[in-house]
Structure 1
Amino acid sequence: MLVPSALRGRTGVVAGGLLIALLLFAVLPRVAPGAQSSSQLQGTIDQQKGRERQLRTTAQKLGALEASASKAVAAAQGRLAEVQQEYGVAQGKLTATTTNLRTTRAKLVRLRRKLEQGRDQLAAVLRNRYTADRPGVIDVVVSSKGFSQLLERIDFLKRVQASDTKLVDLVRDSRDAAKTDEAQFARLRVTQAREAQQAATRRDAMASMTAGLEQRRASLAQAHQARVDALSNARAKRRGAERTLAKLEAAQAKAAKQYTAPSATPRAVGGSKGGGSSWAIPWAIVQCESGGQNFTPNYLGASGYYQFMPATWKALGGSTPNAYQASKAEQDRLAAKLWNGGAGARNWDCAAIVGITG
């Protein structure tokens, strides 16, 4: 969409203007070539005032949207911090569980090795007991120094056997417990990995949303500042025109009684002042779209005074392949049809830019 670099002035055409100019020529001060007449200056002032109102309204809307976007960005940033914290907690749990799983697996390896060693030792003891010559009862009794020593030896042998069996059972139970812990930690790790991934997905989505909101806020801020700057320039031009008009009127008042006929101000079919001719939609949109010029197709294909896309132009019944090839009258007629009393304003992107649509 093209925006003109300067506003176009309107030249009021008054009945009898030429006669008045001839009557006052001898007494009015000389005007430098290219200087505007009082009617032209008044037209410029009126146009600038209208532009100021339009820019002020648009700037206010953009300012409100910027403030709303700033609130949304702040809320999104807060939510992003919460989601990031949730991801950190989930990742911490996953790390702890992974560490526990590795420790448990290492413990299980050690217990299995210890169990194998215990079994080997127990097997060796059993083999020795069964292969060695078993002492007779008489030898045990004779070699024992008293009955108490005999009982002590028998009890010792029983305790050695029980101790070996108990050691093997303890290692086996520890191994089974470690296997159970390993299975639990493995399942827990899978669950926590899934939760961490979900948290990461939420975090990434929220980060993307926050970045989009921040970009929107920045765009609104830029547009708002642009409207404020344009409003300042429009005010400066209007005040300059007012000062020039005041000087001209003061000089004319000294020479003769000024006669000012009502200037003819072209109006658009859409109800807005035009840039020197009639328009089928508000001039502000035309000014934003083409600056009132019959452009050839741009890189998207839009052309003409109203920047019709080829498909839209064809659907409306255009007689030429592209809008710019048709007469202004035909472009006005089809633009008015598309405008539809304002119901079709959203067909022009500039309607939102100048504040006609949301």
Structure 2
Amino acid sequence: MNRYRNSLRGRMRSRLSLLALVVVLPAVLWALLPLGSLAATRDQQLSRLNDKIATTQSKVDKKKGTESVLTTQVQAWQSKINKIQGRIDTLQSRQDRIQQGLDREQASLDRIQRDLRKQRRRQVQLKARLAEGRRVLSQRLFELYRADAPTLITVVLDSKGFAELLERGEFLKRIGDQDQRVITLVRTARVEATLNANRLGKLEKRQGAITASIKKKRDAVASIKGQLVSTRSGFDETKQRKANVLANVKADRRQLEGALSKMRETQARIEGILNGGPLAGPIRRGSGSMIWPVNGPITSPFCERRSWESCHPGIDIGVGSGTPIRAADSGTVAVASMNGGYGNFTCVQHSASLSTCYAHQSRYAVHVGQNVSKGQVIGYVGCTGLCFGDHLHFEVRVNGQVTNPLNYL
């Protein structure tokens, strides 16, 4: 076991020695290179780096183009969704109104159904009364037949039906008052039964019509609304797919921009070395919430009176050309463009009211809309615009008005 451990330790020492050789040897060889060879190597590195920066910038630009197209498509689908949702809302309002009408129709239908039940019970009662009247009358006729003359038999036999028999005056004259009441009852029951049957038929017809109307309206609105909801669901799915692709493209673009920013920092360091310019150096912090964008002395203080301006709107910090400029605080790039006497000019928005601005840059390292963190390189010192020597002009603005930067550094 000890032999195995010793062997393992030996292999580990050999691998660590080899790793140290791999890491240290290039640095040693780099230091031993002649200055001319070192400069040539750095030129080659810078050339390759510039190619990578150009390629990456091209990818970023393509991503931005894709973002723009997808954003337009997502907005278009959202517009379609809003329109169809408007139609759904209109149909919902219509459906609510129909439902109110249906409630009224249902109340009327309930009344009709109660009346129908009442009339049906009455119809049963009338039929029973009519049947009883006919039974009593038939019995009475039978008794009259057994007790009376042939003339009454002739009247009965000559009648074509029970109704005609009740209407014949001769028959009515031959029967007594009690029989008269029976006949009147039968006649009234028959008339009421006929009228009630007609009324019942009308009520049943109206009930069927109202029920059909209710069902038709309800089904029509439900069908249209269902189609619209289905269409909106399809729109939502398409929009979400586009939004997911857009989110992925944005993530890729931010990753590329992060790599691009690091490459530009490396580019600035190499150019600074080749041009003999200074590096960014350590971050300088004061008592304020912001860091100094560059390390250097103030060559022109805030609100200094000069021949061409009554109040210098910022501070000038004296540093060499190519010095990396750091963002004084985190925020979003609001401006990155040539601006008259400011030259190459960048402003970073930190809040709704607070921003910082950096002028006379030799070139930019960020673009408008990019989010930057405190200390991130956003550009490089130069002398563009109205300038008499390399320096950084730095401003702090509150609600668009300049204020003394030293209150924040």
TM-score by length of 2: 0.43
- Compare the two structures and name the one with the higher strand fraction: 2
Structure number with higher relative contact order (C-alpha < 8 Å, ≥ 6 residues apart): 1
- Highest Rg: 1 or 2? 2
- Compare the two structures and name the one with the higher helix fraction: 1
